[in-house]
A and B are shown apart, each in its own frame.
Chain A
Amino acid sequence: MNSMKPINRKARKVEAAVIAATGDVEALQKKGGEGKIYYPMGCTLNFTPGWEVDISGGTAGLCQPVERDLFDCHLGCGWPAQVPDHLNNAVDWTDKCASAANDWRKVDIVFP
C-alpha cells in the first residue's frame, strides 16, 4: 500500500483484504532491488519459453517470439488476462496458427 502503512495486527488483515481487492499481479510489475535484475515469476510453467525477458533481462535470448505467451493464456490458463479465451469467447482464434513461431501473424484481433 502506498497511502498508508499497517501498524497493528488488524491493520495487516485489512491490508491483505485491500491488496486482494485492488492489487495486481505484483510479480509482473515489481522491479528487482537496486542493481539487481528482476526475473518475473508467473503463470507459465518454468519450461515454457516466451517470457518477455531472458536471463540477462533482455529479449535477445528468447527462443520463441513473445507472442508465444498468448498461447499459455489463451489455452491452458483460466487467468482473466486480456487475451481472447479459448474456453468461451474465441474458440477458433488460433485455428490458422499451426506453429506460433511461423504463423503468429495470422492470430488476428478479436472484437468481443
Chain B
Amino acid sequence: MSTAVLTPTASPYRLREYHPFEAAGEKFLYLVPSGAIFALDKIGREVIDQVGEQDLYKEQLVQLLLDRGYERRDIESALGELENADVILRGAAAPQMPKVPDATFPLQRIVLNVTNQCNLACGYCYEYSDDKISQTAGKPKYMDHAIAEASVDLLIRESASRPSIHVTFFGGETLLNVPLLRSTVEYANRKCAEAGKQVEYSLTTNATLLNEKIVDFLAEHKVGVTVSIDGDKELNDKMRIFHDGRGSYDVIVPKIKMLLERHKTNSIGARVTLSAGVSHVRRIYDHLIHEVGFRAVGFSPATANPDRLYSIGPQKMSAVLGGFEELAWEYRDFAVEGRQHGFTNANDTLKELHSGMSKAYPCGAGLGLLGVGTAGDVSLCHRFVDSPVGKMGHVTNGGVDHEARQDFLETHHLGARYDCHTCWARPVCAGGCYHEAFVHYGDTSAANLHYCDWIRGWNDLCLRIYGEIAVKNPSFLERFNEN
C-alpha cells in the first residue's frame, strides 16, 4: 500500500464527554449527555487511548492505526462511528443541553396531601421540623371530597392524551383520612372509565393505623403502598415516635406483617430515612427483609439543614455509601444468578441506566407531577404543598397556573444549572431535589453541591454493576424494558 502525503485537516481529534468504567474485564463508556452505554471493541479502545494521550490529526491517527495492523476500512468506519456517537470530535464542541418542554407537557400524576395532620412526631419530618416550609395556618386539616374530586378532574383534563394516570395519596399521615381515600378512588375509577383512561393508585403511610378492612380496600384497588420505617426497634424508635415520645415500632410491625400477608396485588416497599443516629444500612436492610418480610427496601437521607442535630453529615454519609456499596454488590450477585434483590436504590438506578435516561430536570415535579394541598392549592410537589414557594394554581380556582409552571421549568432547567454543566453524572442527577436545595441554599434552582461526590460515587458503582450484569447475565436486564 502506498503511503499518501499527510495533509492535516482542520483540527486534531479530541475526546468528548463520557465516563469510562471497567466491569468483568471489559471497558465501557457512559456517554454524556446521551446516557448511552457502550462496550468498547479493540479498535475503539485503541482510538480512545491514542486520542487521550496526544493531539492527533485524522491522517496521523489513521497512519498510527495502519502501523498497528488495522485495515484502512476498519479504521475509517471506527472513526466515523466514534465521531457520530459523540465519543471523539474534531474542533470545538457545542454545549449539548436537553430542550425545555413546552407548556402543554401533559400531567401524569397528582399527589394529594389528604391531611396535614400526623399521629407521629418524627424528629426529621420536613412537614413539622425546624426546616418545614409549609404554612398550614388557616388551611383545613383534612382535604374534603370536593377538593379531591376537583383534583382528579384536573388530572384527567391536564393529562391530555396520556392513556394512563396516577393518583398518590400522601399526608401528614394518609390513613387519618380513609373516608376520602375510599370516595376518591371510587370517583377516579368512574371518571377515568368515562374518559377511557387507566388509573393507578399509591400511598405512603406510617402503618400505625392499618387494619384488615383498610388493607382489603388497598388490595382490592391495587394501591401500591410505601411504608415509612427506619429499621429494628432500637433504630426505628430513635426518630419515629408518637407525640408522647413512645416509639412506634411495636405498634407498626404486626400491622405491616398483616399488610404483607393480605395485600398481594401491588408492590409494598419500605422507605427508610437515614439520619445522624440511624445510618446502619446493612443492619436495617437485613432486619426489614428477613425479620419483617418486605421484598423491597429503599433508603434516603433526611433532608435537613446541616446545622440540625439529626442531619446526617458528610462522615456518616460516607459510611452510608459504604453500606450502599455492600448491598449493591449483593444485588449484582443475585442478578447474575437471575434472582431479584430487594435493594430499591440499586434497582431504581440500574433501571434508569438501562433506559439511558438523560434528564433535563431532576424529577417530575412541576412537569408530569403536581402536589395538591388540603385547601386545593396546587404546588410543585407534595413537599412544597402549602408553601409560598412553588405555588402553581388551585384545583377549583383557575386550575393549573401554566404561566407559573412554565416559568419554573425555564428557570430550573439543567441548562440554567451551570454548576452541573461539566459533571458526567448530570444525565441521571440533573442537580438533585428542589426541596433539598431549598433547605440547604434557600433556592430551589440551586444545584445540590453538598452531595455531588456522593452522587458520582453511587452512579459509578451502579455503572460497574450494570456492566457486570450485562456481561454475565444480560437477560436479567430485560425486566427493566417495560417503560
Interface residues, chain A, CB within 8 Å of chain B?
A: 1-11, 13-15, 17-18, 21-22
Q: Which of B28, B35, B38, B82 has the most CB of A within 10 A?
A: B38
Interface residues, chain B, CB within 8 Å of chain A?
A: 28-29, 31, 34-41, 43-44, 47, 74, 77-78, 80-82, 84-85, 87, 353-358, 466-467, 470, 477, 481
What 8 additional pairs, Cβ within 8 angstroms, besides A3-B77, A13-B36? A3-B41, A3-B47, A4-B87, A7-B470, A8-B356, A11-B38, A18-B80, A22-B77
A-B contact pairs, 17 of them (CB 8 A): A1-B81, A2-B74, A3-B47, A4-B85, A4-B87, A6-B36, A6-B37, A8-B466, A8-B470, A8-B477, A9-B356, A10-B36, A10-B358, A13-B356, A14-B34, A14-B36, A21-B80
CA distance in complex: A13, B74 (Å):
22
Task: Say how far B33's CB is from chain A's closest CB, in angstroms.
Answer: 11
The list of the 10 closest CB pairs from A to B, nearest first, reads A10-B356, A3-B44, A3-B78, A11-B36, A22-B80, A4-B38, A8-B37, A10-B36, A7-B37, A14-B36
Task: Say how far A107's CB is from chain B's closest CB, in angstroms.
Answer: 30
List chain A residues, Cβ under 8 A from B87.
Answer: 4
Q: Contact at B81–A2, with CB atoms within 8 Å?
A: yes
Q: Which of A8, A11, A17, A22 has the most CB of B within 10 A?
A: A8
List chain A residues, Cβ under 8 A from B43.
Answer: 2-3
CA distance in complex: A11, B47 (Å):
19
List chain A residues, Cβ under 8 A from B41.
Answer: 2-5
Partner of B353, one of A1, A8, A14: A8
Partner of B85, one of A8, A9, A14: A14
List chain B residues, Cβ under 8 A from A21.
Answer: 80, 84
CA distance in complex: A96, B34 (Å):
55
CA distance in complex: A11, B354 (Å):
9
Q: Contact at A3–B355, with CB atoms within 8 Å?
A: no
Q: Contact at B38–A6, with CB atoms within 8 Å?
A: yes
CA distance in complex: A71, B280 (Å):
76
Task: Say how far A25's CB is from chain B's closest CB, in angstroms.
Answer: 14
List chain B residues, Cβ under 8 A from A17.
Answer: 84
Q: Contact at A5–B81, with CB atoms within 8 Å?
A: no
CA distance in complex: A7, B77 (Å):
19
Chain B residue with minimal CB distance to A22?
B80
Partner of A4, one of B44, B354, B467, B481: B44
Chain B residue with minimal CB distance to A18?
B84
CA distance in complex: A22, B34 (Å):
19
CA distance in complex: A22, B74 (Å):
13
CA distance in complex: A13, B38 (Å):
11
CA distance in complex: A21, B29 (Å):
21
CA distance in complex: A2, B85 (Å):
13
List chain B residues, Cβ under 8 A from A4.
Answer: 29, 38-41, 44, 81-82, 85, 87
Q: Which of A5, A7, A15, A22 has the most CB of B within 10 A?
A: A7
List chain B residues, Cβ under 8 A from A2.
Answer: 41, 43, 74, 77-78, 81
List chain A residues, Cβ under 8 A from B353.
Answer: 8
Given known pairs A2-B43, A13-B356, A14-B31, the reply for A7 and B467 (CB within 8 Å) is yes
List chain B residues, Cβ under 8 A from A5.
Answer: 38-41
Task: Say how far B27's CB is from chain A's closest CB, in angstroms.
Answer: 9
CA distance in complex: A11, B353 (Å):
11
Q: Contact at A7–B28, with CB atoms within 8 Å?
A: yes
Task: Say how far A81's CB is from chain B's closest CB, in angstroms.
Answer: 20
List chain A residues, Cβ under 8 A from B467.
Answer: 7
Q: Contact at A8–B354, with CB atoms within 8 Å?
A: yes
Q: Contact at A18–B85, with CB atoms within 8 Å?
A: yes
Q: Contact at A10–B355, with CB atoms within 8 Å?
A: yes
List chain A residues, Cβ under 8 A from B29.
Answer: 4
List chain A residues, Cβ under 8 A from B37.
Answer: 6-8, 10-11
Chain A residue with minimal CB distance to B353?
A8
CA distance in complex: A9, B43 (Å):
23
List chain B residues, Cβ under 8 A from A13.
Answer: 36, 356
List chain B residues, Cβ under 8 A from A11.
Answer: 31, 36-38, 356
CA distance in complex: A15, B41 (Å):
14
Given known pairs A8-B36, A10-B37, A14-B36, the reply for A3 and B356 (CB within 8 Å) is no
Task: Say how far B476's CB is from chain A's closest CB, in angstroms.
Answer: 13
CA distance in complex: A18, B85 (Å):
6
List chain A residues, Cβ under 8 A from B354.
Answer: 8-9
Q: Contact at A10–B35, with CB atoms within 8 Å?
A: yes
Chain B residue with minimal CB distance to A8?
B37
Q: Contact at A3–B84, with CB atoms within 8 Å?
A: no
CA distance in complex: A2, B43 (Å):
8
Partner of B355, one of A1, A6, A9, A22: A9
List chain A residues, Cβ under 8 A from B38.
Answer: 4-7, 11, 14
List chain B residues, Cβ under 8 A from A3.
Answer: 40-41, 43-44, 47, 77-78, 81-82
CA distance in complex: A61, B29 (Å):
49
CA distance in complex: A110, B174 (Å):
80
CA distance in complex: A1, B80 (Å):
10
Task: Say how far B219's CB is from chain A's closest CB, in angstroms.
Answer: 33
List chain B residues, Cβ under 8 A from A8.
Answer: 35-37, 353-356, 466, 470, 477
Chain B residue with minimal CB distance to A10?
B356
